[in-house]
Amino acid sequence: MRKSETGLAEPQVDLSGLVERVEKLESQNRPWKLGSILAALVLALSVAASTRARQEHDQPLRAKTIEAETLLLKDSDGVTRGEWKVTNGVPVLQLYNANGKVLWSTTPSFLIQAR
């Protein structure tokens, strides 16, 4: 060690050794940097894809025309609780109880008698 003007010892620094160590550390860290960037990119893409899928799923199905001979209303157990159909050219709406008996109907009386 060399003494400075203040009388304190100045450390001898081997700059070439220090530069070699820094270069070695940088080369060792390079794969970690690339891996981190790739992981962040994959994470960002997956978040974007899930957000897009959720937005598409949340959109209600819209149609200008629905065509059917009969529309059935079923409960969570799959039991038919309502029916909307056209019988003999007359639109009929019927609501059923859990046993399948008609609770309410728009059926005209002449259709009930014809059955």
Q: Is residue 6, in this structure, part of any structural domain at all?
A: no
Backbone angles phi and psi of 7, in degrees to 5: 95, -5
Residue 49 tokens read as: 């894809």
Is 7 domain-assigned? no
Q: From the centroid of its chain, how far is CA 20?
A: 50
Question: Domain tally for the chain?
Answer: 2
Q: Which of 90, 98, 115, 96 is nearest to 107 (CA)?
A: 90
Query: 80 and 98 in contact (C-beta within 8 Å)?
Result: no
pTM to 2 decimal places: 0.41
| 9 assigned to some structural domain | no
Is 65 among the domain residues? no
Q: What is the pLDDT of residue 111?
A: 53
Question: Which pLDDT value is given to residue 90?
Answer: 84
Domain that holds residue 100: 70-114
- Tell me what pLDDT residue 11 has: 72
Is 8 inside any structural domain? no
**Mean pLDDT of successive 10-residue segments in the chain (115 residues)?**
66 82 91 92 92 75 85 92 88 90 79 53
What was the pLDDT predicted at 62?
80
